[in-house]
Amino acid sequence: MVKQIWLNLPVKDVAKSKEFFTKLGFSFNDNFGGGPDSACLLVGSGNFVVMLFSEQIFKSFTQHPITDTVQSSEVLISIDAESREEVDELAKKAEAAGGIIFGKPGEAQGWLYGCGFSDLDGHRWNVLFMDYSKLPKKEN
């Protein structure tokens, strides 16, 4: 049976991507990757693995063209924040590190507070604080 899941993303410059995510407060597992062609980004308390691969290495795995993230999105990566303040802070850090905010921090549906940013390679990240106490109750 499946033991684990992780995400692989192509990046133009592994060192610059590593610097970007470090500025956002993320950590890396240098036992995996860590060279010029890959890095092992750890996300959240469960240390979800996002492998950052140089485009050349990524293409060798997929044997398929890489999506032009200026023209389209291949995935929306969502992160669960602990508070509205954490959402705001990550948005500020992402922008200061060179990312692009495509969705300013704000409330949605009365119980979600979030923002959206693109990293240096145009991959889209969604940061959400979910206030379950405000989640509308389903009628039976």
Task: Give the pLDDT confidence of 27-47 residue by residue, as tens digits.
Answer: 999 888 778 999 999 999 899
pLDDT in tens, 64-104: 899 999 999 889 999 999 999 999 999 999 999 999 999 99
Identity (one letter) of the amino acid at 22?
T
* 3-class secondary-structure state, position 84: helix
Longest dimension (CA), the chain: 55
- What the block records as the tokens of 9 is 């993303």
| Confidence at residue 140, expressed as pLDDT on a 0 to 100 scale | 67
| Confidence at residue 119, expressed as pLDDT on a 0 to 100 scale | 97
pLDDT in tens, 46-60: 999 999 999 999 999
pLDDT in tens, 110-126: 899 999 999 999 999 99
* Residue 22 in this model has a pLDDT that exceeds 90: yes
| Confidence at residue 136, expressed as pLDDT on a 0 to 100 scale | 83
> What is the number of residues in the chain?
140
